[in-house]
Amino acid sequence: MVKKFPEKGTPLYDQIVSRVERGDSYGDIAESIDMTFKGFKDALRAEGIKRKQTNFEGVLPPAYELSKSATWEEHLEVIQRMDNLVAFHQRVPSEITIKINTDKPVIRVATADWHLGMFGVDYQAVKSDCLFMRDNDLKANIGGDGYHNIIQPSKMGSGHNQTPISVQKGLYVLTLEMLKDSIDTVRTGNHNYWAALAEGEDWDREITRKIKLLYMKHFGVVYYKVGNMVYPWLMLHKSRYNSSFNLTHNCKQNQRMYFPKARVVVAEHNHIAAVEQYRYDNQECVAIRTGTYAVYDDYAQQNGYFGAHVCNPAVVMFPNEDKLVGFKDMRDAVTYCRGLVCV
């Protein structure tokens, strides 16, 4: 029996190395070359030939282990960090001060519910009013529902009653840009915000940031410091306390329940304008319900909401005495103020 291991470099040597590395039986290999099992193992050891540890080439993925759940503290920490990140896009100021250094009465207009892009809007009135505000250097607070934005699947039948959404937003942006020097604040409404609810992105926020306008989202409290006087305004798009019989009930209840310091309360959304001057806490106050440009409204007619009309109310604020005068039509405020030689 041949008991000598093949010499290195020979074909038989290479065959034995290959068989050993791939895991063939030592006994079978030893028998095929007429060596004893012990002699074969000793020869392998002397030559440094070993079986390969695995038959797999490459890096194996990690073995599965049950993942460890994040702790209570880790949940709070991570969510707080996410909240801080999202806040940059989501949170807006709700109370601000606007200082007006003057010794003459000033006008501020409240306008909302433009519904740009809707068919049935009085676009001639839109054009006339925007040019009037711009040309008379009026300052305004722009309320919600600036464009129609019917996007919900449940309301897709109303798509016949509007232009494409991109056209609506385009006109809205161009209108804000044209009135940029006339705008104190901008807020959203339920129509605008349907897009944010569907997409998670508040595009009104991005639009106003691009144009560099002050965006107050759903509601805002503005402390107008006119000369020596301070007149806080509370402005909302939608709210509770609505009454078909007493349109300004909404305004006065919001003042009584949540913001008794308010001197002017503006509520929008219902498209029927009203202005009431009244006393609260021994001070003169003004309650405003804004109008709309959507004067031929299929939805309103369907549900029996009559009385919508174009109306942009205004308030004249005096700088050296505690005095407010409300007007249902901003043009009347301008006429009044010109008689007082306002700026």
Q: What is the pLDDT of residues 51-63, one digit of tens each?
A: 776 666 667 788 8
Instruction: Collapse the DSSP code of 49 into the 3-class scheme (helix H, G, I; strand E, B; otherwise coil) and give the result.
Output: coil
Residue whose structure tokens are 């601000």 = 96
∠ at Cα 171 (106, 136), nearest 5°? 25
Q: Tell me the residue range of the domain where 16 lies.
A: 1-61
Distance CA 307, CA 222 (A): 29
My answer on whether 263 and 179 are in the same domain is yes
- Answer whether residue 1 shows pLDDT above 60: no
My answer on whether 115 and 57 are in the same domain is no
The answer to whether the CB of 278 falls within 8 A of the CB of 324 is: no
CATH of the domain at 281: 3.60.21.10
Instruction: State residue 40's pLDDT score.
Output: 85
In a domain, 87, yes or no: no
My answer on whether 117 and 253 are in the same domain is yes
My answer on whether 244 and 132 are in the same domain is yes
Number of domains comprising the chain:
2
**pLDDT band at 146, cuts 50/70/90?**
very high
What pairing do the DSSP bridges indicate for beta strands 314-317 and 324-327? antiparallel
Q: Please name the residues in contact with 177: beta carbons below 8 A apart, sequence gap of 6 or more.
A: 211
In a domain, 216, yes or no: yes
- Answer whether residue 343 shows pLDDT above 60: no
**pLDDT band at 169, cuts 50/70/90?**
very high
**pLDDT more than 70, % of the chain:** 96
My answer on whether 138 and 232 are in the same domain is yes
In a domain, 114, yes or no: yes
H/E element, 310: none
- Answer whether residue 141 shows pLDDT above 80: yes
∠ at Cα 315 (239, 107), nearest 5°? 130
- Answer whether residue 3 shows pLDDT above 70: no
Instruction: State residue 55's pLDDT score.
Output: 64
In a domain, 69, yes or no: no
Listed residue (139, 219, 147, 217) closest to 182, CA to CA: 139
My answer on whether 39 and 153 are in the same domain is no
Instruction: State residue 7's pLDDT score.
Output: 85
Instruction: Collapse the DSSP code of 284 into the 3-class scheme (helix H, G, I; strand E, B; otherwise coil) and give the result.
Output: strand
Q: Please name the residues in contact with 72: beta carbons below 8 A apart, sequence gap of 6 or more.
A: none
Largest CA distance in the chain: 131
Picking from 8-17, 210-219, 287-296, which range would have the lowest pLDDT averaged per residue?
Answer: 8-17
Amino acid, res. 307: G
In a domain, 72, yes or no: no
CA 77 and chain centroid, separation: 24
Domain boundary among 38, 61, 84: 61
Domain boundary among 61, 85, 106: 61
Amino acid, res. 104: K
In a domain, 330, yes or no: yes
My answer on whether 181 and 319 are in the same domain is yes
Listed residue (230, 229, 251, 231) closest to 239, CA to CA: 251
What's the average model confidence in pLDDT over 170-194? 96
Instruction: State residue 28's pLDDT score.
Output: 87
**pLDDT band at 327, cuts 50/70/90?**
very high
Distance CA 137, CA 158 (A): 37
How is residue 125 written in tokens? 């009135």
Q: What is the DSSP letter of 137?
A: T
DSSP calls for 300-320: HHHHT---------EEEE-SS
In a domain, 207, yes or no: yes
My answer on whether 45 and 129 are in the same domain is no
My answer on whether 156 and 20 are in the same domain is no
Phi, psi of 96 (to 5 degrees): -140, 165
In a domain, 88, yes or no: no
My answer on whether 108 and 48 are in the same domain is no
Picking from 52-61, 185-194, 219-228, which range would have the lowest pLDDT averaged per residue?
Answer: 52-61
Listed residue (247, 117, 114, 126) closest to 187, CA to CA: 114
My answer on whether 56 and 99 are in the same domain is no
Q: Please name the residues in contact with 264: beta carbons below 8 A apart, sequence gap of 6 or more.
A: 231, 232, 233, 234, 285, 286, 287, 288, 315, 324, 326
Dihedral in degrees, nearest 10, Cα atoms 133, 92, 206, 171 = -30
The answer to whether the CB of 140 falls within 8 A of the CB of 183 is: yes
Instruction: State residue 159's pLDDT score.
Output: 67
Q: What is the DSSP letter of 12?
A: H
My answer on whether 158 and 220 are in the same domain is yes
Q: What is the pLDDT of residues 4-23, one digit of tens each?
A: 888 888 888 888 888 888 87
- Answer whether residue 308 shows pLDDT above 80: yes
Tally of CB atoms within 10 A around 277: 14
